[in-house]
Structure 1
Amino acid sequence: MSHKRLPKRKTAIAAGSVVAVGAAALLLPNANASQTDASGDVTPSTLKAADVPGRADKLASQLGDAFAGSYYNADKQQMVVNVVGDDSKAVEAVRKAGAVPHQVQNSTATLEMAASTLRTRAAIPGTAWSVDPRTNEIQVIADRTVTGSRWNFLESTVDNLGSGVATLKKSTGTFKTFASGGDAIFSQVNGGGVRCSLGFNVTASDGSPAFLTAGHCGVAARQWSDSQAGSPIATVDQATFPGRGDFSLVTYDDPATQAPSEVDAGNGQIVPINRAAEAVVGQQVFRMGSTTGLHDGTVTGLNATVNFQSDTSPSGVDTVTGLIQTSVCAEPGDSGGSLFTKDGGAVGLTSGGSGDCTRGGETFFQPVTTALQATGATLGESGTAAGSAQQSADPGAPAGGTADQSATADDRHGRSHHGGAGSHR
């Protein structure tokens, strides 16, 4: 797969450059309107996914313990709010807010306690769990490496959480990180064999041009190039992995570098990135990677905790918290790449997952909002979010709870992967 090399003194790597066949949807704006019925009562508002976090925060504050999470119904473009038990006042408040009430069994506290139990008792490499507000349960996943006594222990732990609290399923793949991505970036470690992807161009707190990528890339190597045999053009300033996230801030060595705030979605289509966006369960998102190109999927869980098999200790675990779980596919070479919305929201950086883009699987992403807050960086050139207006696109262009997860890692040190700017796994 070819990659363009851009003059380092003139322009930075643009996030994402390869498009996978069939990975497309229309870049059309969503409606955003409230409606009333004949009696004057408020009916569910038609919303964008980006509207959900703010409204959810207000309702959570208003409803207190009766609030049990929310999600986005993409088909109807509506916000759904979980209400614990038969609380008529809470149900009415949700309706007045233009959302759809969904009465559920489990409170947020119940699910958080169950997730804490899993973190304490079942942090097994190759396992994953997330609180899915659509089912009001913890969805627990074990990959194909979890067998025998480990599977039995996991199954027993899930059963002991109580009826209707969690479900357990088996994944055919293996959880791992994926080095490589959108517009590829390379390290000369191991003869240039470490490959990742640039996620989003940003401005560092001191005004320097920089970009975000996966933390396990920044830990694996300090200097990065835009070609496999090229000289370094950028140096890692900060890297977090494992721990509270999987992100790196990498500054361009040339202070004159122009770092456009955009994702190259392929076929001449550029998606201007105008803001950092919070992920919403149920919303459609797009991932750009140099290995597999453009793919879309759905956010399925938030605040995921992933237990990667340690590269340095066969019996060790590298735990990462605070990730986004999705149904988007990815493969080695997509690490660090961009997860974004059709209207220009920067959502995440590719971290790791299971499966591939043939059979599917789960993929986890570092939230961009958390990475920006931790590093002090801002989106866009000179601290501004460039490209506030979305460019028009032809048909076929990309359209646009809590969680705990476990996984194994195989590519943070020296494995050759296909990657690029805007995506790293």
Structure 2
Amino acid sequence: MELFRFLAFLAAVLPVAYGAPTQATNSLHPKLLAAMKRDLGLDAEQAAARVSRDISASEIIEQLRTTAGNSFAGAWIAEDGTTLNVAVTDQALASEVTAAGATPAIVANSLSKLQDAKQALDNIDIEQPKTLATDSANVGIAAYYVDVAANKLIIEALSGSTAHAESLASQVGLAASEFEVKTVETMPTTFATVVGGDAYYIDNVARCSVGFSVTTGFVSAGHCGTAGSSATTTSGASLGTFSGSVFPGNADMSYIRTVSGTTLSGYIDGYGSGNLPVSGSTASATGASICRSGSTSGVHCGTVRALGATVTYAEGRVTGLTQTNVCAEPGDSGGSFYTGAQAQGVTSGGSGDCTSGGTTYFQPVNEILSTYSLTLVKA
């Protein structure tokens, strides 16, 4: 199928009070249901209920974020998929959290405090000084993000950089109880590749996956191409040109303005089971179910693990990404992340693969839309 015939995404789901699924979720596409069954162990009824709860949780979180003000400490959906937890630093707010339909958690650190520390890390050089004794293969800060459930800043580092990570945490003013260093085996990589496949090509060399269609083109990952790069279909027909691109830095996003005559529809390729429609872009909470579609590995699902993560790629740091446990592989870059009917973002990079599993990050789509003043195409 030509790329321009399947630019975009998903079907309508109406938010309701947390825990009560809507009838609209019963229309989830069979391909999406199959992926959620395979990756999350949910049958059709459970998947529909989960998607409805995940989307409605976003409204409750925003309501309580406003109510709690500086005492707001983040929110997350528990692993059981049925409990929305909202953390606050003021015990007096617990009753308001409960009244809104969430479970209160009283913690020591506000979300703003931990986010400020993360921002401070973003603003300094985190490279570890090299010495004769340094094993460069074991050195590197892979990523860092706020874990709202743990109420800490998490720093992921290779084994040779754990002491350096601790030093960085101290440098931005965090006490030992306010951060955690996790050892990882590999550094993240982006998922661009030169292997052919059913996707779009950049300058007739690299391959990426389309994210979402907008009224004048489509969006994808920034590392896929720079402003002025060409985009073509798998058969070599012109799709358009990269009009804007950011990578590395404060985003991994791009906007490709398509040529006249390109069909831009509100669907994404379902990889053998029809196309999946999209109806909006309400952002999902930590712990929410989420799925990804890409030209190499097709459709896979998992959950959101952290918001606002900073990731260190070989090309440099990228801030503001969302961490998930959904797998991805080379060529999936730029592809779409979505929760039920709601577009979430475009695939950036990560580690692992869809055989052994892994961690994947995505660029939130709403930032792309606002940066380039774009309008999402809906089914």
TM-score (norm 1): 0.72
3-state SS of paired residue (1:115) = helix
- In 2, are the aligned partners of 1:327 and 1:363 still within 8 Å (CA)? yes
Q: State the SS of the aligned residue for 2:312.
A: strand
1:111-142 Cα shifts (integer Å, max 9, x gaps): 12332343345634542111111111122112
Aligned amino acid, residue 201 of structure 1: S
Q: Distance in 2 between matches of 1:75 and 1:262?
A: 30
Question: Would you say 1:199 and 2:211 are equivalent positions?
Answer: yes
Relative to structure 1, the CA distance from residue 220 to residue 359 in structure 2 (aligned partners, 3 Å threshold; closer, same or farther) is farther
Q: Distance between the aligned counterparts of 1:65 and 1:182, measured in 2?
A: 48
Report the CA distance shift for 1:107/1:233 in structure 2 as closer, same or farther (over 3 A): closer
Aligned CA-pair RMSD: 3.0
Q: CA deviation at 1:197?
A: 0.7
Higher relative contact order (CA 8 A, sep 6+): 1
**Aligned ranges 1:82-161 → 2 under 5 Å:** 82-84=87-89, 87=91, 89-121=92-124, 123-124=126-127, 126-143=141-158, 147=160, 150-158=161-169, 161=174
1:173 and 1:277 mapped to 2: Cα distance? 32
Paired AA for residue 323 in structure 2: Q
Q: Secondary structure at the match of 1:275?
A: coil
Q: Out of 69, 75, 82, which is 1:77 matched to?
A: 82
Aligned to 2:133: none
Aligned to 2:332: 334
Identity of aligned residues (%): 35
Aligned-partner residue type, residue 356 of structure 2: R
Tell me which residue corresponds to 1:236. Answer: 242
Q: How far apart are the structure 1 equivalents of 2:146 and 2:110?
A: 11
Which residue does the alignment assign to 1:217?
A: 224
TM-score by length of 2: 0.80
Whole-angstrom distance in 1 between the partners of 2:125 and 2:149: 23
- Secondary structure of 1:306's counterpart equals strand
- 1:176 alignment partner in structure 2: 189
| 1:163 CA displacement | 2.8
**Which residues in structure 2 correspond to 1:309-324 (within 5 Å)?**
309-310=314-315, 318-324=316-322
Deviations 1:242-268 (A, max 9, x none): 233111111221x23221211222332
C-alpha separation in 1, matches of 2:43 and 2:365: 24
Q: What is the CA distance between 1:221 and its match in structure 2? A: 6.4
Q: Distance in 2 between matches of 1:220 and 1:309?
A: 20
Q: Secondary structure at the match of 2:200?
A: strand
Corresponding residue SS for 1:233: strand
Deviates more, 1:328-337 or 1:230-239: 230-239
Instruction: Tell me whether 1:357 sits opposite 2:354 in the alignment.
Output: yes
Deviation at 1:323, TM superposition (A): 1.2
**C-alpha contact 2:281 2:342 (8 A) present in aligned 1:** yes
Secondary structure at 1:355 match in 2? strand
Deviates more, 1:17-26 or 1:237-246: 17-26
Q: Which residue of 1 aligns with 2:295?
A: 290
How big is each residue's C-alpha offset from its partner over 1:15-38, in whole Å with a ceiling of 9 and x where there is no partner?
Answer: 799998945755556459xxxxxx
Contact residue 202 and residue 225 of structure 2 kept, 8 A: no
Separation in 1 of the partners of 2:113 and 2:208? 39
Q: Is the 8 A contact 1:339 1:350 kept in 2?
A: yes
Partner of 1:374: 371
Give, in whole Å, the separation in 2 of the partners of 1:363 and 1:201: 22
Deviation of 1:280 after TM superposition, in Å, equals 1.1
CA distance, structure 1, for counterparts of residue 202 and residue 9 of structure 2:
17
SS of alignment partner, residue 291 of structure 2: strand
Is residue 197–residue 213 contact of structure 1 (8 Å, CA) maintained in 2?
yes
CA positional deviation for 1:13 = 4.5
Secondary structure of the corresponding residue to residue 300 of structure 2:
strand
The separation in 2 between residues aligned to 1:184 and 1:47, in whole angstroms, is 30
1:402 aligns with none
C-alpha displacement of 1:272: 0.9
Asked if 2 retains the 8 angstrom alpha-carbon contact of 1:15 and 1:337, the reply is no
The count of residues paired between Structure 1 and Structure 2 equals 339
- CA–CA distance in 1 between the matches of 2:322 and 2:98? 28
What secondary structure does 1:276 align onto? coil
Provide closer, same or farther for how the CA distance between residues 371 and 158 of structure 1 changes in structure 2, counting only shifts above 3 A. same
In the aligned structure 1, how far is the partner of 2:321 from the partner of 2:358?
A: 16
- 1:64 counterpart residue number: 69
Change (3 A) 1:76 1:354: closer
User: Which amino acid letter does the alignment assign opposite residue 178 of structure 2?
Assistant: V
Contact 1:182 / 1:288 at 8 angstroms: preserved in 2?
no
Residues 364-386 of structure 1, C-alpha deviation per residue, up to 9 Å, x if partnerless? 10101111111111111xxxx21
CA distance, structure 1, for counterparts of residue 229 and residue 337 of structure 2: 23
User: Is the CA contact 1:127–1:307 (under 8 Å) kept in the aligned structure 2?
Assistant: yes
| Secondary structure in structure 1 of the residue aligned to 2:323 | strand
Q: Give 2:27's aligned residue.
A: none
Partner SS for 1:297 = strand
Q: Displacement, 1:101?
A: 0.5
Work out whether 1:165 is the aligned partner of 2:162: no
Instruction: Give the secondary structure class of the aligned counterpart of 1:281.
Output: coil
Instruction: Name the SS for the 1:157 alignment partner.
Output: helix
- Alpha-carbon contact 2:189-2:350 (below 8 Å) kept: yes
Distance between the aligned counterparts of 1:115 and 1:377, measured in 2?
29
What residue ranges of structure 1 are gaps of 5+ in the alignment? 33-45, 205-209, 311-317, 387-425
Residue 333 of structure 1: SS of its match in structure 2? Answer: coil
| Unpaired runs of at least 5, structure 2 | 11-30, 128-139
How far residue 12 of structure 1 moved from its aligned partner, in angstroms, is 5.2
User: In the superposition, relative to structure 1, how do residues 15 and 95 fare at CA in structure 2: closer, same or farther (>3 Å)?
Assistant: closer
